[in-house]
Amino acid sequence: MSKIQLVSERLYDYLVPEIDSSDSIYILTSFVMRSGVELLYPYLKEALNRGASVKFCAGDYLYVTQPKALSLLLELDGIEVRLFQSNGRSFHPKAYLFGREKGDGAFFVGSSNLSKSALTGGVEWNLYVPESSAPSTYEEAEDQFLHTFYHENTIPLNDETLKSYYNRYEQYHLKHPELHQTWTDLEEVDMTIGVPSEQDTIKERNELYEVKPQTKLTPRPAQREALEALESTLEEDYTSAMVVLPTGIGKTYLAAFFARSFKRVLFIAHREEILYQAKRSFHHVIPNRSTGIYNGKEKEMADMMFASVFTIGQEKNLHRFSPDEFDLIVVDEFHHAAAPSYQGIIDYFNPKFLLGITATPDRMDNKDVYALCNGNVAYQMHFIEAIEQDWLTPFRFYGVYDETDYSSITWLGNKYDKEELLQVQLKEELAQKILEAWLQHKQTRSIGFCSSIRQAVFLANYFNKNGYKAISLHSKSDYNRAEAIHSLSSGDIDIIFTVDLFNEGVDIPPVDTLLFARPTESLTVFTQQVGRGLRLFEGKSYCNIIDLIGNYRNADIKLSLFDTVPAKGTKTNNVEPVVPANCELNLDLKVIDLLKELNRKRQPRKEKLYDAYYNVKLELGGRPSYTELHRKGSEDSKGYKQEFKSYIGFLNWANELDEEEKEVFNKQSKWITEVERTNMTKSYKMVVLKYMLSRGLEHWLDSVTPTEVAPYFHHYLTEVDYRKLKDFSDKTTKKLWVYDEKKVSNLIATMPMTKWSSSSKGLVSFEDNVFQFNVEVANEEENNYLYNWTKEICEYRLREHFEKKAMESRGRFS
């Protein structure tokens, strides 16, 4: 086959030769049946054995996908499978994509799900598209597949997530015994289809508000401070750092200024339009360097490369570069970087420096991105501080009471059930309330943020019906983004209603009114959207923020975003934040009463800690280590020690230990608590423990002398400058940067050995120059458990300690 053609019979006969000759195989179907997996299983297995990349994504819509089919897929060694959680939203894609490092790829798109009938005997229509016939369409198909594969609604398939899906599948089938007829009927229902998320499908390369060219660009004050901090991190031997700057301060230009010190640069973003904006900014700062957009076709030789995460993240593209190809890698919107789509790129490359830039360091699913740069936040500024410095526009916040009862709407982990939410949102009474609030507090140019396309369309129609000029902007609207921005800026329209299109990468400085007609499901998204109205613009004195506040999740903590009091170290239980002097906060009395009530009913801390743990367990497919929970969990990892004395104590409480583990824990809980909670102003105790553990399972409890530990201790603390400068640079230890066995041994004897011995209530002893843990183990099995738990805690505490040290010395505003 070489031209576009229709395949109306036995798609199977076309798929097998493609699988046999492809280097990458991407399959996306609404549902998957065991019969379909069995057909392709031997060919996929052979492809994986020869090193092909195989990614498979299926949906859970109406629970048609069979658990047995997913279980069979998991038996394929090396396959990546993700399950799209539709949450009741229709999910109908059917596509098979095949890529080749040498030669053209191809894809099939049409009606065939992965079942025996669909691939062999059913009446199906599928279009075959070779890459040579439509190269841009092929690239778009690859891009869209990866957007969907790594969409926030997908979860990796593993033993834990399969078990969870099986339980939901069983429950659904018990409630819906006529599932197959239900599926057939609902296939015809016109429901909102939007995968990937709405903001990913519009690509505009026009930037309306570019900085006018100047003879020579110089950094702004905040950029100068951030650059100085980054230079300090380089001097301290850090190889990565994150910079947190609010929207409007110039994160991309900051990265360009920093890039002047490096020869080869890679800039990574998740949207194409951001790449083109960044390319212009970098060229403006460094005009004598070549720039290029990497399209995945051939290895670009430009000095400064700009690549989409979905393009360069494909294995065939990634391996066109050597791991040390780039001196500097910049990851834009770094809060995305904990996602799997970024992880492969970050793990593959070994640059001299990795710089993450973001306005919102906490990911939308709350995973910890600080760990990706070893906790090294080189510079951090909250938008509140930028407003106080007159670098952003002040705001006037109007909290308007929303009588909608959100308590009866199903919460799906990180958002409300879309269909249930729409039932309360698409009412004229609520639309009238929104219109009245907007009329009372609006200025000249407004953006209205909605939960869904249907709500955006509904509100735009309602505003138009009442004599105002409104449009809804989304992936299926008649306007493109550039046209909409121009119409709003020129005053041709009063308000744009959108979902997430203006969260990142698009700035409209003239906007002076933000209308929130949606519940705040993510504080990261809320922060991004607030930032859309704060950019300075001639004639704009304030940004008015109109927010309908009801009894939805996060309503009682969202206002902390505007608070200046915690930043200055004063704790307060007041639900009304103290905003900057040049800003205003206006809350309806009913809103104040609601916030007080919600504040009293917060989820118990132990339940939140368990939920955070369980979500990481689902992602990894098994019990996470302490460090993995610290990196990926949504709750502060210190909470496990505070609530349960130790992480292992939490596992015992959560019934995550088997009977043998429980027995060992109950016997050794004092030791585990000692390792977890012993005071650590410096890292010295854990460095000594790390040495003892390094001797292995059989000898970790053997006694040691300070002289024996000294070489390991000194090497660890001087191996990289940031450890040396954080924990080994006072008047005494600075003299020990050049190794002196006697002096280092004396230091170890004094601190930590003597101090740990005196504070441990007999669990640690140091007598006659011999250091020992007074722990007895009955057998090899007990020793194995205790060794591994101690090692987990030691590794976590060292990592957390140096992250904390880095943040203390770098952070400006929290």
- Residues 358 and 507 sit within 8 Å (Cβ to Cβ): no
Query: Would you state the structure tokens that stand for residue 338, as one six-digit string?
Result: 């904990």
Alpha-carbon gap, residue 640 to 445, rounded angstroms: 47
Token pair in block for residue 756: 């740990």
Exposure string for 204-233, b = 16+ CB within 10 A, e = fewer: beebeeeeeeeeebebeebbeebbebbebb
- What angle do helix axes 272-285 and 251-259 make, rounded to 10 degrees? 50
Give the CA distances from residue 600 to residues 594, 596, 708, in Å, rounded to whole numbers and listed in that order: 10, 6, 55
- For the stretch 259-277, pLDDT in tens is 999 999 999 998 777 888 8
Residue 705: half-sphere exposure toward Cβ, Cα within 13 Å: 6
Residue labelled with tokens 């505009």:
204
376, 238 contact by CB (below 8 A): yes
**Fold of domain 603-656:** Arc Repressor Mutant, subunit A (1.10.10)
Residues 6+ apart with CB under 8 A from 322: none
In 3D space, the residue among 92, 624, 298, 493 whose CA is nearest the CA of residue 635 turns out to be 624
The pTM for the full model equals 0.69
Position 375, amino acid = G
Closest by CA position to 71, among listed 148, 196, 158 = 158
> CATH: 3.20.20.70, 3.40.50.620, 3.30.870.10, 3.40.50.300. Which one for 5-196?
3.30.870.10
Task: Please determine whether the domains at 221-381 and 391-600 fall in the same fold group of CATH.
Answer: yes
List the alpha helices (DSSP H) in 466-604.
Answer: 481-490, 523-531, 589-600
Q: What pLDDT digit, counting tens, does each position of 30-73 carry?
A: 999 999 999 999 999 999 999 999 999 999 988 889 999 999 99
Nearest residue to 737 (alpha-carbon basis) of 713, 723, 718: 718
761: left (phi over 0), alpha (psi -120 to 50) or beta: left
Q: Extract the tokens encoding 70.
A: 């997913």
Residues facing 471 on adjacent strands: 496
Q: What are phi and psi of 448, to 5 degrees?
A: -110, 125
Given a contact cutoff of 8 angstroms between Cβ atoms, the answer to whether 646 and 673 are in contact is yes
Q: What angle do CA 601, 629, 649 make, to 5 degrees?
A: 75
* 262 φ, ψ (degrees, to nearest 5): -125, 150
Give the per-residue pLDDT at 502: 60
Q: What is the pLDDT of residue 326?
A: 95
How many whole angstroms separate alpha carbon 695 and alpha carbon 706? 15
Q: Which CATH class is domain 391-600?
A: alpha beta
Residues 155 and 161 sit within 8 Å (Cβ to Cβ)? yes
What pLDDT, on a 0 to 100 scale, did the predictor assign at position 731? 84
Closest CA to 528 of 343, 280, 361, 309: 361
Q: What is the pLDDT of residues 438-472, one digit of tens each?
A: 999 999 999 999 988 899 999 999 999 999 999 99
- Structural domain spans, the chain: 5-196, 221-381, 391-600, 603-656, 657-810
- Please report where in the chains the tokens 């549902």 appear, as a residue: 31
pLDDT at residue 464 in the model: 96
Distances (CA, A) of 795 to 24, 722, 724, 740, 772: 37, 17, 18, 27, 20
Please tell me the distance from the alpha carbon of residue 227 to that of residue 377, in angstroms, as a whole number.
12
Distance CA 396, CA 225 (A): 28
Residue 258 three-state SS: helix
Query: Which phi-psi region, left, alpha or beta, contains residue 298 (left: φ > 0; alpha: ψ -120 to 50)?
Result: beta
- For domain 221-381, the CATH architecture is 3-Layer(aba) Sandwich (3.40)
What lies within 8 Å, CB to CB, of 232 at 6+ separation is 378
Give the DSSP H/E element, type plus range, for residue 161.
helix 159-175
* Inter-residue contact 223 to 257 (CB < 8 Å): yes
Specify whether the CB–CB gap between 47 and 23 falls below 8 A. no
DSSP 624: P
Those residues of the chain that have pLDDT short of 50 are 180-215, 363-366, 567-571, 811-814
Chain mean position to CA 194 = 20
Q: What are phi and psi of 174, to 5 degrees?
A: -65, -40
**Whole-angstrom Cα distance, residue 335 to residue 339?**
9
**In the block, which residue shows the tokens 């430009």?**
302
Query: Which residues in 525-559 are b (16+ Cβ under 10 Å) and which e?
Result: bbbbbbbbbbbebeebebbbbbbbbbbbbebbebb
Report the C-alpha gap between 179 and 648 in whole angstroms.
43
Rounded-to-integer distance, Cα 259 and Cα 328, Å: 7
User: SS3 of 780, please?
Assistant: helix
Q: To 5 degrees, how large is the angle CA 797–CA 801–CA 804?
A: 140
Q: Could you read off the pLDDT of 618-656 as tens digits, one per residue?
A: 888 899 999 999 888 878 889 999 999 999 999 999 999
Residue of 365, 375, 296 whose CA lies nearest to 336? 365
The strand pair at 53-59 and 80-84 is best described as: parallel
SS3 content of the chain, % helix, strand, coil (to 5): 45, 15, 40
**Alpha helices (H) in 573-625, listed in sequence order:** 589-600, 605-620
Burial label, 614 (beta-carbon count in 10 A; 0-12, 13-18, 19+): middle
In sequence order, which residues have a C-beta less than 8 Å from that of residue 98 and are 6 or more positions away?
18, 19, 21, 22, 24, 25, 26, 105, 106, 107
